[in-house]
Amino acid sequence: MTTHLAHEHEVTHCHNCGAAVQYHYCSLCGQETRLHVASAGEFVHEFIGHYVALEGKLWETLRFLMLRPGFLSAEYIGGRRKRYIEPLRVYLTLSLLFFAVLKLGGPPVVDVAGDPGAAAPRAAQVAPRGTAVTSPEEQAMRSAAAIASPALENKVNAFLQLSSAEKNRALQGAFFKYVPYAMFLLMPLFALYLKLLYLGSGRHYGEHFLFALHSNAFAFGMFSVIIVVGFAGIALLTFACVVWLFAWLPMAMQRVYGGPRWLTFVRWQALSVLHLISIAAAIMGAMGIAVVA
């Protein structure tokens, strides 16, 4: 059975929409005009490519993102877009990389102190099951849950009676399951902070959202580098990466938005505080899910 497609003869019409074509792509629907039977490797590449940027231009995009603050956002806003990976795919790529590196080689995201298995027996000796208090934090959690609902109070009590090792497993599982999604959902909020900080600048919300994607993609990428370099024990390089992590954002804001440098510095501080509060709330939300799940 012959499987040869139109790549062996001159193509005059698009196989997808039937429009007349002259070059390698249809000007109406964008499909390639010279087709071939795809290999298994190409199918895998196409599937992964929907989620992670793998093209050769990824490396050029990463070079500009990591080393030239604000350059990619300025290029995108200026209409020079085809030569770079789309902002959303850059964000998703570096976000996946960061959480993979953190899970495989980073420090523990949660570390509940205590002798595993000792908390529950000790609590049982102090008070009836479900009511023992071993710390002010646990007392606060029980009080808040009791105010909310009896069902929530029971779930909080059950969680607090777990051993330290069991608590760690539950909290770390919730972190890696929910925090990546929570961080992505913070992007519109990050853009809103920028919109408020730059009121009167004439910038559209979409431009702020674009800057949010690039900024947080850089942060994920740099945190991944810091984890790897720190694991290798290169203290001086780790320190340099941390300094660059903090210096990048105000430099990027200055390039993209302009304005007096002192005002950029003030806006950067306000943005950093607001975003850190949002991140803390998102992580606490994920931990809360682990408690009540």
pLDDT for 43 equals 52
Beta strands in the chain (DSSP E): none
The mean pLDDT value for 65-83 works out to 92
75 vs 81: which has the higher pLDDT: 75
Most confident stretch, 47-51, 95-99, 104-108, 161-165? 95-99
pTM: 0.74
Instruction: Give the DSSP H/E element, type plus range, for residue 291.
Output: helix 261-292
| 129 in Cβ contact with 161 (< 8 Å) | yes
The three-state secondary structure class of 111 is coil
Picking from 45, 49, 72, 58, the residue whose alpha carbon sits closest to that of residue 256 is: 72
Residue extents of the structural domains in the chain: 1-37, 49-110+169-292, 119-162
**Residue range 16-50, pLDDT digits in tens:** 777 776 766 777 676 677 655 555 555 555 555 55
| 77 in Cβ contact with 205 (< 8 Å) | no
Instruction: Give the DSSP H/E element, type plus range, for residue 247.
Output: helix 235-257
Picking from 202, 215, 198, 208, the residue whose alpha carbon sits closest to that of residue 250 is: 215
**Residue range 155-189, pLDDT digits in tens:** 888 888 888 888 888 888 888 889 999 999 999 99
pLDDT for 153 equals 76
